[in-house]
Amino acid sequence: MGGSGSGSWYRWSKKDTISDYNNLNMKRLVEEGIVGESKHKIGSWQWLRSGEVTSSISYTSNTLTSGSSYLRLRYTNKNSDQEYDYKVHLTTTSPNYGGKRWWFICPAKGCGRRVGVLYGGKIFACRHCYNLAYDSQNDGMHYRMLTKAQNIHRKLGGSGCTMDYVKKPKGMHWKTYNRLMEEMEYYDNASMTFAAKKLGLIDGF
């Protein structure tokens, strides 16, 4: 099972942008069948650069018991040879527009945010805990689509990170909220598609 990431896994002199870190993206894990209803999976996840494996982790996903779902991560820090073995708890929401959406609960001490992406440092944690910003580049279709999605997220009262859960603002009609959520999902997915195309991960769309 594999994923694609950029940069070294551990960056102790880190640049404060999300592209400097390998990540675990919940959308990808769901698409790959690692996370979902009544799953128990054991495997490994890899990050590639130019077709070469740059880093990897072992995982166990367990969603068999409602309310106790988790993703167990096991890996060794290349710099210190320190071994890590811990659980990231998972949760779900049920959007009014249908289906079920899975989230990570950030495992960093004192956090517990419900997020869609975790970034790899000593542990995998949310961008807030690592004080990460989005890349400053804003040209190209990928960034235009991402900007549209981020603007909708902020309109709903969020931070602009589309992988963070955002509740319906008080006083907003459900119809309006559902429409905006659908639009945000569309632009967010389009952004990921254009990014994958730019990186050569897909041939067309």
Closest CA to 34 of 44, 23, 20, 21: 44
CB 184 within 8 A of CB 162: yes
Closest CA to 24 of 59, 52, 65: 59
The domain containing residue 162 runs over which residues?
140-198
How far is Cα of residue 140 from the mean position of the Cα atoms in its chain? 22
Query: Mind listing the pLDDT tens digit of every residue in the chain (205 residues)?
Result: 443 333 333 333 333 455 557 889 999 999 999 999 999 999 999 887 777 877 889 999 999 998 899 999 999 877 677 899 999 999 999 877 677 899 999 999 899 999 999 988 888 998 888 776 655 443 467 778 888 889 999 999 988 888 788 889 999 999 999 999 989 988 888 887 776 665 554 443 3
When divided into structural domains, the chain yields a total of: 2
The secondary structure of 76-118 as a DSSP string is: E-TTT--EEEEEEEEEEE--TTSS-EEEEE--STT---EESEE
146 shares a domain with 115: no
Provide the whole-model pTM. 0.60
**Domain end (from 74, 93, 125):** 125
**Is residue 113 a part of any domain in this protein?**
yes
159 shares a domain with 111: no
116 shares a domain with 34: yes
- pLDDT of res. 95: 76
153 shares a domain with 99: no
98 shares a domain with 58: yes
160 shares a domain with 105: no
Alpha helices in the chain (DSSP H): 26-31, 140-155, 174-198
